[in-house]
Amino acid sequence: MKTENLVDKYIRNTKKAFQGLKHSFNETEDKGILDYARRYLEDAEYYRSQKKFETALVSIVYCEGLLDALRLLGIVEFQWPEEAQKKQIDR
């Protein structure tokens, strides 16, 4: 798959994850990390618009990593679109 297509897919999936995101912040640091993730998403969109697809890919991957870390720590809840789709199929 071309880098440009990966960037588009990851940005689309990350936006969907943010839409369904639920959080329970106990500390300011937790909220700060989520803000970093949002900024990485914004960076990815910016670099995509500049056709700097490798930089966009790195940015969106950082965003996904932060979201996954927050989810593993139990600070946020969300599903990646593929997870939600799999649950629908398994029912």
In sequence order, the β-bridge partners of residue 49 are: none
Q: What is the CATH number of domain 3-90?
A: 1.20.1270.90
Give 3-state DSSP helix, strand, coil % of the chain, rounded to 5: 75, 5, 20
Domain chopping of the chain, boundaries: 3-90
Tell me the longest C-alpha to C-alpha distance in the chain. 42
**pTM, two decimal places:** 0.86
Distance CA 7, CA 4 (A): 5
For residues 26-39, give the mean pLDDT: 85
Distance CA 58, CA 6 (A): 11
Res. 85 pLDDT band, cuts 50 70 90: low
